Amino acid sequence: MALSNNVIGAINFVAMLLSIPIIGAGVWLATEADNSCVKILQYPVIVIGVLILVVAIAGFIGGFWRISWLLIFYLIAMLVLIILLACLVGFIYMVTVNGSGHPAPSRAYLEYDLDSYSGWLRRRVQSSYKWDRIRACLSSSSMCAELNQSYRMAQDFFDAHITPLQSGCCKPPTECGHTFVSPTYWISPINAAADTDCLQWSNEQTNLCYSCNSCKAGLLANLKREWRTADIILIVTLVALILVYVIGCCAFRNAKTDELFRKYKQGNNPYN
């Protein structure tokens, strides 16, 4: 039984290590400017990662110190956490499966349409109460001001591969036909009725297109890209956790079998 318990302790040490990329993915999301403004996914990821770490520590202690009830707690709790992590992985995939940018004439960057994203994501940004808070957070960042430092000439800006958030929030939609003065200053729209966002655009540097649907779509595009990256990390970690859990279950079963066999032999030993 000692060998099996040592195996359980060892694989739980691996589970402890596997919690690190989960926690790291959540911390990384929390440090991204757009996610720090929305605050949706990073906290569930961090919480699950921390819980996996705590449960793995419990299994590690139970394995090396042969505490059966702690091992049983580990097996039940880790199964629940694996299921929760699998649900989170599936949820992230489902809400990010739709939505993408579309090219604009004579532009290297893409434009973004809010209606192309999942209803769940759209509801996170469509209500005025939620968006007012997100907008204030976005407008306090330097993402638009950085464009003015990087691009002086119109063609340089048109050839730039800017982020979805910069495309949606820092400039008017291309179809409005504004004339470039700087990345965040545009005049004389040709077709102001082409899109409701055309009327939302303002050269006031604290306003720009932060009230535009294109800004909301750009935010969702940024979130989709970052969430998909985090989802890949979670999927790889989930598969590894499942393997570790299966090995742990086998080791626990073998330990119990060895213990029962040892007690049986002792019970049938006439010299006992």
**What pLDDT does 169 receive?**
95
SS3 187: strand
Alpha-carbon 255 to chain mean position: 38
Look at residue 35 and tell me whether its pLDDT is greater than 90: no
Per the structure block, which two tokens stand in for 148? 């003015």
| pLDDT score of 92 | 95
Q: What's the pLDDT at 194? A: 82
**What is the predicted pLDDT for the residue at 179?**
94
Alpha carbon distance 137, 221 (integer Å): 17
Q: What is the pLDDT of residues 118-177, one digit of tens each?
A: 999 999 898 888 899 999 999 988 899 999 999 999 999 999 999 999 999 999 999 999
Residues 170, 143 contacting (CB under 8 angstroms) = yes
Task: Tell me the average pLDDT across 110-115.
Answer: 93
Q: Which of 59, 69, 64, 120 is nearest to 94 (CA)?
A: 120
- Going from N- to C-terminal start, the domains of the chain cover 1-98+224-260, 101-221
Q: How many CB atoms lie within 10 A of CB 230?
A: 25
Is it the case that residue 90 has pLDDT exceeding 50?
Answer: yes
Question: For position 260, what pLDDT does the model report?
Answer: 43
For the record, the structure tokens of 161 come out as 């591969």
Q: How confident is the model at residue 239 (pLDDT cuts 50, 70, 90)?
A: very high
Position 33 scores a pLDDT of 81
Q: Residue ranges of the alpha helices (H) in the chain?
A: 2-31, 33-38, 42-64, 68-96, 119-126, 128-139, 143-150, 154-158, 164-169, 196-200, 213-267
Percent of the chain with pLDDT over 70: 90
229: which 2 tokens?
A: 């990256």
**pTM of this structure:** 0.86
> Which amino acid does the sequence have at 99?
G
pLDDT digits (tens, 9 = 90+) for 181-223: 999 999 988 888 888 899 999 999 999 999 999 999 999 999 9
Q: What is the dihedral of CA 28, 33, 36, 37, to 10 degrees?
A: -160
Tell me: pLDDT of 4 over 60. Answer: no
Whether the per-residue pLDDT at 236 is higher than 70: the answer is yes
